[in-house]
Amino acid sequence: MHISRRNFVKLLGGSLAGFAVGGLGEALIKIPNAVVPILYKGPRIETWKITTCAKCPGHCGLRVRMIDDLPVQVFGNPLSPINAGGICPMGLTSIQNLYHPDRLTSPMRKVNGKFQKVSYHEAYGILSKALQDNSGEKTAFVAQAESDFMGRLIHDFTQSLKSEKVAIDRFGSKTVLPYRSAADDYPDFIDFSRCDLIINFGSQLTEISESPLFFSRAVNDLRSKRGSIVTFSPKLTPSAFKSKPWIPVLPEFYEDVALGLACVILNDGTYDKGFVQKNFNDFGSFRQLILEDYSPADVEKKTGVPSKDIIATAREFASATSPVAYFDESILQSSNGTRNAYAVLALNALRGFSGYGKLQTREIPGDDKTKSDAASASWNTSRLIGDADLKVLLIYRSNFIFNSPNSEDLRKAISNIPLVVSFSPFIDETTELANLIIPDHDDFEKFDAMSSTVTGAPVVSVQRPVVKPFYATTHTGDVLISLMHDLNLSKDLPYGNYVDYLRANLKPVYKHGKGMLMAQKKPTGLEKSLHEAGWQLTSYSDFDEFWDQMLKYGGWWDPFPKVEQFSPTLSLSASQLTGKGSASSEKKTHDADSLTLNIFSKNLDYKGNMLRNAALTEQFGVERDVYYDTWIEINPNTAKKLSVGDRTKVRVQTRRGSFVATAIHNPTVVPSNIDVPFGLGHKFTEKKYGINPIDYADYVFDEATGTPSLSETSVKIE
């Protein structure tokens, strides 16, 4: 059936155009001025446009259904090698962000504690002057950039300001993981064509990972080939459903478990002797340390993981053809997060990293180009606290106040910074602390690009605007490039705006000459043979045509890349592995009768940015039949001891306060844990749903990266 345009426009009323329209409830959508004439005159023609999702590190291809050039629905792009037509709830509902009534429609400046609209020129002028006066370490940049191209621009920008204070949160990036401080290289992908066992340390592979949709398919394929997954995690998440066995353990013990597995392999002598001799510096000391301190019995005593499980898993790992001990950024969510990662790297080294793969040639500009990542890895948002030198703080789409247990300290620190500039398209907990907001476009209104190697092939996905910007928003990339020009920050800057920057960075892909656009499925048979013989699968006469085709089809990839075994050289000291000699964690000891608060994330909102979206907020607790409110999950045996009934309201007490939530009995919950979901509890909106559990968590961080621990808080139920 058709939308009744007449009724629609009648109800809309010309004078209301451009405003969030209420009257029947809370406005969940705003009709921009630009849309109203199309509603009147549109012939109701359906078209489709291809773009890329930037809601998580997955970079899934999207097909956007347009009616009269206005996006109405989003589906997955079947020709994207990453998602092959699939799409997740965040991607499906991304269109609601475009029409969201809370979107910022113009730059804002805080005057007397209240935001007022200002022109772009005024806002830009304030920022430009502040940066002119405060270069060097007086400026810091905090970003959540799912695009590695945007991430690199932010790096280049802060470096040209001569500041090392940059923190870029990019979940899928290997550069945020401590590979560089332990090895001389990092893997590009899990080689699923060979891999027959994954020992997974806490990653929610199919929900929140480098590429959830690609991993969903890959994990199913692995299982159908009789491969197996063993998951160590504090919660039986949907990702852990796919593993056998799931072994419950808190993240702070991943390190011990990994080294316990290593101990069994070393004892059995089943490790890759050739690899460790050649690639593991000071292997003898490592071997001695592990054999002395990490016997399965010792590990069981410390972690509670049965030694029979450790021995069985280690032997499975040793006998597998190409096993992988896998971790991602979630392994850092513990007071010893970085040491956890080192331990898993050491475990992988015992089998020569045989399940991982590396691209032989890298024509696409990738993460490895950002050498500055390693230098800046030492700076993170916690360093804002007590930094009296800081005069300008730039924030790009990161809501770190919502995600950090030390949010109150961060608030105070930010309030002492003379100029805080946010590029967020929405007001959130972090943006409301800014003095100046220069809102970025919505993802459907902007150009960007993302590169990925997670599929085992180099993929460059392109995001293009499917509609012209509705409001007076500005691409943050354009702002940064303008600043670099105006402040003479970078000599010979070869690009005038962000699109030029993207084009310049994608020239190597064009010159590469190989690969294909996302215009057809992976070639087989004759086409594959022709490609291997040197045929170019897609033809374009010049770079402009290549760029146009990239935009039309959503990206480029090389279906037949040259890959090799990942073979890094490891240098791990005893202090890196076991914490000996390093500063002790500030973790507080648990009371005998207390439980552990385990904060878990769902695939509907992994960074605290998506639950402004009505459909996702309603769906957040649907599988537990809890709506618009926080719940806790408790093991029925624990609940019985505490006399907590199923679906009763309880008060959850931590050192930082207490909150009321519905207790739900769930026999999969670790008996010593209270599980609580992360995502609800935003405070910047009028309607407040549930609580933010991180507000009640202890200030426990991974010291090296500043990643907050989500499962080391003592809790009591009242």
Partner 1 sequence: MPKYGMMIDLNKCTSCQACVTACKLENNVQIVSEDDAQNGRAMFWMKMLTLEFDGDYPNIRPKALPRNCMQCDEPSCIKVCPVRATYKRPDGIVAQIYPQCIGCRYCMANCPYTVKVFNWDRQAQPVQMEKTYDPDVSVRPKGVVEKCTFCIQRLQKASEKAAVEHRKLEPGDYVPACVEVCPVDAITFGDLDDPKSEVTKASRDYRAFGLLEELGTVPKVRYLNAIE
Rule CB under 8 A: is residue 22 a binding residue for partner 1?
yes
Distance (Å, whole) CA 383 – CA 206: 33
Residue for token digits 């109800």? 11
In the bound state with partner 1, the residue whose beta carbon lies nearer, of 33 and 361, is: 33
Distance (Å, whole) CA 437 – CA 396: 10
Rule CB under 8 A: is residue 504 a binding residue for partner 1?
no
Segment contacting partner 1 (CB under 8 A): 92-100, 344-352, 520-528, 592-600? 92-100
Region 572-591 residues binding partner 1, contact defined as CB under 8 A: none
Size of the site for partner 1 (CB under 8 A): 77
Please pick, from the candidates 77, 80, 93, 144, the single residue that binds partner 1 as defined by CB under 8 A.
Answer: 93
Q: How far is the CB of 86 from partner 1 (least distance, A)?
A: 3
Segment contacting partner 1 (CB under 8 A): 65-73, 143-151, 158-166, 167-175? 65-73
Is the separation of the CB atoms in 110 and 435 below 8 Å? Answer: yes
Lay out the site mask for partner 1 across 663-702 (x = CB under 8 A, - = otherwise).
Answer: ----xx-xx---------------x-x-------------
In the bound state with partner 1, the residue whose beta carbon lies nearer, of 117 and 624, is: 624
Please pick, from the candidates 34, 67, 472, 487, the single residue that binds partner 1 as defined by CB under 8 A.
Answer: 67
In the bound state with partner 1, the residue whose beta carbon lies nearer, of 81 and 706, is: 81
Residue 116 bridge partners (DSSP): 109
Q: Are strands 657-665 and 108-111 parallel, antiparallel or unpaired?
A: unpaired
How many other CB atoms are found less than 10 A from the CB of residue 39?
16
Segment contacting partner 1 (CB under 8 A): 128-136, 217-225, 292-300, 398-406? 217-225
Rule CB under 8 A: is residue 648 a binding residue for partner 1?
no
Q: Which DSSP symbol is given to 587? A: P
Q: Which tokens in the block code for residue 287?
A: 């071997």
Region 168-207 residues binding partner 1, contact defined as CB under 8 A: 206-207
Please pick, from the candidates 200, 474, 635, 713, the single residue that binds partner 1 as defined by CB under 8 A.
Answer: 635
Q: How far is the CB of 324 from partner 1 (least distance, A)?
A: 19
Q: How far is the CB of 260 from partner 1 (least distance, A)?
A: 17
Strand ranges in 187-328 using DSSP code E only, listed in sequence order? 189-190, 197-201, 228-233, 246-248, 280-281, 323-326
Helix ranges (DSSP H) in 269-419: 273-279, 283-293, 296-303, 307-319, 337-350, 372-376, 400-403, 407-415
Q: How far is the CB of 49 from partner 1 (least distance, A)?
A: 16
In the bound state with partner 1, the residue whose beta carbon lies nearer, of 535 and 628, is: 628
Rule CB under 8 A: is residue 12 a binding residue for partner 1?
yes
Q: How far is the CB of 77 from partner 1 (least distance, A)?
A: 12
323 three-class SS: strand
Class of residue 560 by CB neighbours under 10 A (exposed 0-12, middle 13-18, buried 19+): middle
Q: What are phi and psi of 177, to 5 degrees?
A: -85, 155
Rule CB under 8 A: is residue 152 a binding residue for partner 1?
no
Please pick, from the candidates 44, 114, 468, 562, the single residue that binds partner 1 as defined by CB under 8 A.
Answer: 44
Helix ranges (DSSP H) in 52-190: 89-92, 94-98, 120-133, 148-160
Please pick, from the candidates 472, 629, 684, 716, the single residue that binds partner 1 as defined by CB under 8 A.
Answer: 629
Region 527-566 residues binding partner 1, contact defined as CB under 8 A: none
Distance (Å, whole) CA 165 – CA 136: 9
Class of residue 658 by CB neighbours under 10 A (exposed 0-12, middle 13-18, buried 19+): middle
In the bound state with partner 1, the residue whose beta carbon lies nearer, of 64 and 290, is: 64
Region 274-313 residues binding partner 1, contact defined as CB under 8 A: none
Region 234-273 residues binding partner 1, contact defined as CB under 8 A: 236, 238-239, 241-242, 244-248
- Determine the length of the chain: 718
Distance (Å, whole) CA 79 – CA 518: 6
Segment contacting partner 1 (CB under 8 A): 148-156, 233-241, 472-480, 693-701? 233-241
Rule CB under 8 A: is residue 11 a binding residue for partner 1?
yes
Residue for token digits 């499906």? 92
Distance (Å, whole) CA 250 – CA 120: 48
Of 350, 274, 302, nearest in space to 572 by CA: 350
Q: Is 608 left (phi over 0), alpha (psi -120 to 50) or beta?
A: left
In the bound state with partner 1, the residue whose beta carbon lies nearer, of 116 and 220, is: 220
Helices 476-486 and 498-512 cross at an angle (nearest 10°) of: 100
Of 394, 368, 338, 241, nearest in space to 583 by CA: 338
Q: Which DSSP symbol is given to 166? A: E
Segment contacting partner 1 (CB under 8 A): 28-36, 122-130, 482-490, 673-681? 28-36
Segment contacting partner 1 (CB under 8 A): 171-179, 211-219, 384-392, 415-423? 211-219
Name the strand (E) or helix (H) holding 463.
strand 459-463
Region 333-372 residues binding partner 1, contact defined as CB under 8 A: none
Q: How far is the CB of 481 from partner 1 (least distance, A)?
A: 33
Distance (Å, whole) CA 332 – CA 706: 9
In the bound state with partner 1, the residue whose beta carbon lies nearer, of 238 and 523, is: 238
Please pick, from the candidates 312, 487, 615, 642, the single residue that binds partner 1 as defined by CB under 8 A.
Answer: 615
Lay out the site mask for partner 1 across 383-422 (x = CB under 8 A, - = otherwise).
Answer: ----------------------------------------
In the bound state with partner 1, the residue whose beta carbon lies nearer, of 230 and 345, is: 230
Rule CB under 8 A: is residue 81 a binding residue for partner 1?
no
Rule CB under 8 A: is residue 95 a binding residue for partner 1?
yes
Q: Give 266's contacts (C-beta < 8 A, 6+ positions apart).
A: 287, 290, 291, 350
In the bound state with partner 1, the residue whose beta carbon lies nearer, of 63 and 397, is: 63
Rule CB under 8 A: is residue 646 a binding residue for partner 1?
no
How many CA atoms lie less than 13 Å away from 351 in the CB half-sphere? 31
